[in-house]
Chains A and B, each alone.
Chain A
Amino acid sequence: EDQVTQSPEALRLQEGESSSLNCSYTVSGLRGLFWYRQDPGKGPEFLFTLYSAGEEKEKERLKATLTKKESFLHITAPKPEDSATYLCAVHSNYQLIWGAGTKLIIKP
């Protein structure tokens, strides 16, 4: 059964304290892995798509990486405005399978 698991469920960091979020997956034939950001009361906002192991994408303080079994979202020197829930999804059988998300809180 296709499955996506994100860890940790919640992460509290001080401003400037770098860390990583994990997305592990089991799918039969990965066709793409997606990262989204979701702010409270809003819809998810697309961040990155990764297609093959070894691929990396960057956007401001965020960098996403992909291996054969998991993806990491690295956050470098985060700011309070980076606080949000980060969602991971994988493409399987023409649908996206979503993880439950990691709630990231950055304290000033």
Chain B
Amino acid sequence: NAGVTQTPKFQVLKTGQSMTLQCAQDMNHNSMYWYRQDPGMGLRLIYYSASEGTTDKGEVPNGYNVSRLNKREFSLRLESAAPSQTSVYFCASGLAGVVEQYFGPGTRLTVT
């Protein structure tokens, strides 16, 4: 099992550009999550999907959109990137409800 995979691993964007971060899990988990991690701060939830077909906003959703494509895949889109979105982005998955979550390796995004 690959667990949770994310692409790309690194990305540099210019202000105003758009991009989609991809995430897939092969553990048959119902729930999937997108977080961002900034220095000196805890992980912050951007969006989550409790099950296929549903998505909900987390703590910091502004500037992002998500799509739960199927049970395996959950993508995060930045429509118009801003320097404030420079961060490391993690995708995670877990069984239904808030139990332990399993994380991907992360995408390091820089917006100039």
Interface residues, chain A, with chain B CB atoms under 8 Å away: 4, 31-32, 34, 41-46, 49, 87, 89, 91, 94-101
B44 within 8 A of A: yes
Beta-carbon contact of A42 and B106 below 8 Å: yes
- Besides A91-B98, A98-B43, 9 new A-B residue pairs in contact (Cβ under 8 A), listed by A number: A4-B42, A32-B99, A41-B105, A43-B105, A87-B42, A89-B43, A94-B98, A95-B58, A96-B43
Closest to A90 in B: B98
Beta-carbon contact of B42 and A43 below 8 Å: no
B48 within 8 A of A: yes
Beta-carbon contact of A49 and B99 below 8 Å: yes
Beta-carbon contact of B100 and A49 below 8 Å: yes
Residues in B with CB closer than 8 Å to A96 are 43, 45, 98, 101
Chain B: minimal CB distance from A2 (Å): 10
**Complex Cα spacing A97 to B97, Å:** 14
Contact A43 to B40, CB < 8 A, known contacts A32-B98, A49-B99, A96-B101? no
B74 within 8 A of A: no
Contact A99 to B42, CB < 8 A, known contacts A31-B98, A43-B103, A91-B98? yes
Beta-carbon contact of B98 and A46 below 8 Å: no
Residues in A with CB closer than 8 Å to B105 are 41-43
**Complex Cα spacing A43 to B105, Å:** 5
Residues in B with CB closer than 8 Å to A43 are 4, 90, 92, 103-106
Beta-carbon contact of B98 and A95 below 8 Å: yes
Beta-carbon contact of A100 and B100 below 8 Å: no
Residues in B with CB closer than 8 Å to A46 are 100-102
B41 within 8 A of A: yes
Beta-carbon contact of B45 and A95 below 8 Å: yes
Residues in A with CB closer than 8 Å to B40 are 100
Q: Beta-carbon contacts of B38-65 to A below 8 Å, as 1s and 0s?
A: 0011111100101000000011000000
Contact A95 to B48, CB < 8 A, known contacts A43-B4, A87-B42? yes
Closest to B105 in A: A43
Beta-carbon contact of A101 and B42 below 8 Å: yes
